[in-house]
């Protein structure tokens, strides 16, 4: 059985007003069910548009599953949900070949990853073997079962949730698995006003039951094509490399960020820039994304751990200490473009 692949059919990039209209509609739609978390909702969308995967890590009851469901429901595409448990099998995730008596042949039954959005709830409750079944899918966007490789659809995004406090009966994600998540976000508690609004809006019935899609998979592919088109000056790229190198050289860290992290940092920065209405990346985009994109992949030294320094704090500190790039690009990257945006480095600090 062949699974139809939409792999390289991203289609044309969108105009700026079109992009703004679609992305605003998606954010507004999600905010109908999640109160007071605009920055997090935008970051989740940015990760999707950067063709990445999202890890939502926080204590119980702060809306992790709700955010994952709301994003998935806002887009008319195939969504599968996997509730991770210790007895979940790798074949439940990827699929399995079964013998068909009638045709006298093996038939592939696709697993839960054959969808545009895969919501993996409480991912740290599955055994390492099942967690690792996700590895190939997340990085290569394909599944190999019994020697046959099946391409996954585009967009393909894994949104996983986990509770960092819970220890009993959990299997912490291995490093290679964590590295495949473009960003890790914590929901955080809503502020007083947002919690009050939640009681008013969500007190009686759950508004997610009435949430309707405001976009579809084809439109998301156009959004992704638009994000890929966002310009990034060489000096900004160099800044990304310096940021990642700083994690590898830090005395507080036993493991720094990987080249995969650098790629994902830049992709997400392009998405954030586009969501901000820009067609070029600013160093500030990288600064804002450093903690969500880098902090979950790095490992602190024993001393840093004993000093109770979190990886978030270590990355934030590196960002603070690393000087912003100051030299101007040799030639303006915007030459010949119809509009002349502000030079990203024209604000020496």
Ligand X SMILES: Nc1ncnc2c1ncn2[C@@H]1O[C@H](COP(=O)(O)OP(=O)(O)OP(=O)(O)O)[C@@H](O)[C@H]1O
Q: Which residues make up the interface to ligand X (CB under 6 A)?
A: 34-37, 60-66, 161, 163, 190, 194, 198, 202
Nearest to 62 by CA among 177, 185, 157, 169: 185
Binding mask 37-66 for Mg ion (x = CB under 5 A): ----------------------------x-
CA dihedral 37, 41, 46, 51 (to 10 degrees): 140
> Quick check: 129 and 171 in contact, CB under 8 A?
no
Q: Cα-flanking dihedrals φ and ψ of residue 121, to 5°?
A: -85, 135
Alpha carbons 233 and 236: distance in angstroms, whole number: 5
Q: For ligand X, which is the closer residue by CB, 122 or 279? A: 122
From the list ligand X, Mg ion, none, partner contacted by residue 198 (C-beta under 5 to 8 A by kind): ligand X
The distance of closest approach from Cβ of residue 138 to Mg ion in the complex, given in angstroms and rounded to an integer, is 20
* Cα dist from 138 to 8, 28, 152, 286, 304, whole Å: 16, 28, 10, 23, 31
The distance of closest approach from Cβ of residue 69 to Mg ion in the complex, given in angstroms and rounded to an integer, is 9
Q: For ligand X, which is the closer residue by CB, 161 or 182? A: 161
The distance of closest approach from Cβ of residue 60 to Mg ion in the complex, given in angstroms and rounded to an integer, is 7
Alpha carbons 170 and 62: distance in angstroms, whole number: 20
The distance of closest approach from Cβ of residue 62 to ligand X in the complex, given in angstroms and rounded to an integer, is 5
- Sites for Mg ion among residues 63-122 (CB under 5 A): 65
The distance of closest approach from Cβ of residue 195 to ligand X in the complex, given in angstroms and rounded to an integer, is 7
Q: For ligand X, which is the closer residue by CB, 125 or 270? A: 125
Q: For ligand X, which is the closer residue by CB, 117 or 223? A: 117
From the list Mg ion, ligand X, none, partner contacted by residue 29 (C-beta under 5 to 8 A by kind): none
* Cα dist from 228 to 157, 266, 312, whole Å: 16, 10, 28
Q: For Mg ion, which is the closer residue by CB, 23 or 65? A: 65
> Quick check: 76 and 216 in contact, CB under 8 A?
yes
Interacting residue ranges for Mg ion, rule: CB under 5 A? 65
């Amino acid at each position: 059985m062949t699974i139809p692949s939409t792999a390289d059919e991203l289609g044309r990039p969108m105009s700026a007003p079109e992009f703004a209209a679609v992305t605003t509609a998606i954010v507004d739609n999600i905010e109908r069910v999640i109160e007071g978390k605009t920055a997090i909702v935008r970051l989740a969308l940015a990760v999707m548009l950067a063709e990445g995967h999202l890890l939502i890590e926080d204590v119980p009851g702060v809306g992790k599953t709700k955010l994952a469901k709301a994003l998935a429901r806002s887009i008319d595409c195939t969504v599968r949900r996997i509730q991770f448990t210790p007895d979940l099998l790798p074949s439940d995730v990827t699929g399995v070949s079964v013998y068909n008596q009638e045709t006298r042949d093996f038939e592939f039954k696709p697993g839960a990853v054959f969808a545009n959005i895969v919501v993996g709830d409480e991912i740290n409750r599955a055994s390492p073997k099942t967690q690792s079944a996700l590895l190939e899918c997340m990085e290569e966007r394909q599944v190999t079962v019994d020697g046959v490789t099946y391409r996954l659809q585009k967009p393909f995004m894994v949104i996983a949730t986990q509770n960092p406090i819970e220890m009993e009966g959990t299997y912490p994600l291995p490093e290679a698995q964590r590295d495949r998540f473009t960003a890790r976000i914590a929901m955080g508690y809503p502020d007083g006003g947002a919690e009050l609004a939640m009681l008013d809006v969500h007190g009686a019935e759950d508004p997610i039951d009435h949430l309707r899609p405001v976009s579809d998979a084809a439109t998301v592919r156009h959004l992704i094509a638009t994000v890929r088109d966002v310009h990034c000056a060489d000096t900004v790229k160099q800044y990304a490399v310096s940021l990642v190198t700083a994690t590898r050289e830090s005395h507080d860290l036993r493991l720094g960020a990987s080249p995969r992290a650098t790629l994902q940092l830049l992709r997400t920065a392009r998405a954030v820039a586009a969501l901000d209405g820009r067609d070029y990346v600013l160093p500030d985009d990288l600064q804002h994304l450093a903690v969500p994109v880098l902090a979950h992949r790095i490992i602190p030294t024993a001393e840093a751990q004993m000093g109770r320094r979190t990886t978030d704090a270590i990355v934030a500190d590196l960002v603070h200490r690393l000087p912003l790039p100051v030299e101007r690009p040799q030639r303006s990257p915007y030459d010949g473009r119809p509009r002349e945006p502000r030079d990203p480095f024209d604000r020496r600090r």
